Amino acid sequence: MTDAAAVRPPERVAAVEAYGLRRSFVQGGESVEVLDIAALCIPSGAIYGLAGPSGCGKTTLLHLCAGLLPPSAGELRVLGTELPLLPQHARDRFRARHVGYVFQRFNLIPAVSAIENVLLPMGFANVLPVAQRRERAETLLRRVGLGHRLHHRPAALSHGEQQRVGIARALANRPALLLADEPTASLEAGRSDAVLELLIEVASEAGAALLIASHDARVLGRLEHVLQMPVFNGVAPAPS
């Protein structure tokens, strides 16, 4: 099998395309199906919300789209690549190069500074010339309002600042797909609006598709397209 991570995804393929996508987990000795999506299409460069009650499978779907979790069944193409068919190392490489993930709990590396946290995925993906990486990391951190916090470790940053380092890190390798899991869950209203604006702005500037899982009615109310789970979980949605 060729290493699909070495190939830039074609420009206009759908960001995410899935058919008969299922995922189950073993819980208490029984297999429980948590996701059953008949069809899903998120166009390239589109901005979508992902809504639904706790436990309906939002994080599971984001993990599938990032190749962090394999589906139990079904087809899943991410930026034109059948992610579940890639071997693990190629999936990891594909994610590093093409997918940005904003984790709900930031998942920053505590032992290194903000700028090192942004540089790490650049080293792993190895797409940008080494000489350009530090400048890009600084630019991204300035872009999220952290030009004055480049050398602070995560523990020395506020919640909102850590969230913004996570956003800068997710953008490090110019992803064509940006996945954000409850990016505003622990922020107050004013901060939540700013983080949402920032995500939309940076995704739009880069032409990246953006999928935001959220419980927050304020966030979902700002988005033109919202996939409502589990209503569309098992029923074909009608993406526009």
Binding mask 21-60 for Mg ion (x = CB under 5 A): -------------------------------------xx-
The residue among 60 and 113 lying less far from ligand ATP, judged by its C-beta, is 60
Distance (Å, whole) CA 80 – CA 10 = 7
The residue among 105 and 159 lying less far from ligand ATP, judged by its C-beta, is 105
Tokens (6 digits) for 105: 């709990």
Residue 120 exposure: Cα atoms within 13 Å on the Cβ side? 16
Q: Which of 44, 60, 113, 233 forms a contact with ligand ATP (CB under 6 A)?
A: 60
- The residue type found at 210 is L
Q: Which of 2, 27, 31, 240 forms a contact with ligand ATP (CB under 6 A)?
A: 27
User: 3-class SS at 70?
Assistant: coil
The residue among 137 and 180 lying less far from Mg ion, judged by its C-beta, is 180
Asked if 25 interacts with ligand ATP (CB under 6 A), we say: yes
Q: Report in angstroms how near the CB of residue 30 gets to ligand ATP at its nearest.
A: 11
Which positions from 30 through 59 interact with ligand ATP, judged by CB under 6 A?
34, 52, 54-59
Residue 51 exposure: Cα atoms within 13 Å on the Cβ side? 17
Indicate the helix (H) or strand (E) that contains 69.
none
Tokens (6 digits) for 118: 């942004």
Distance (Å, whole) CA 154 – CA 208 = 27
Using omega within 30 degrees of 0 as the cis cutoff, is the peptide bond preceding 183 cis? no
Residues of this chain that interact with Mg ion (CB under 5 A) are: 58-59
Which residues lie near ligand ATP (CB under 6 A)?
Answer: 25, 27, 34, 52, 54-60
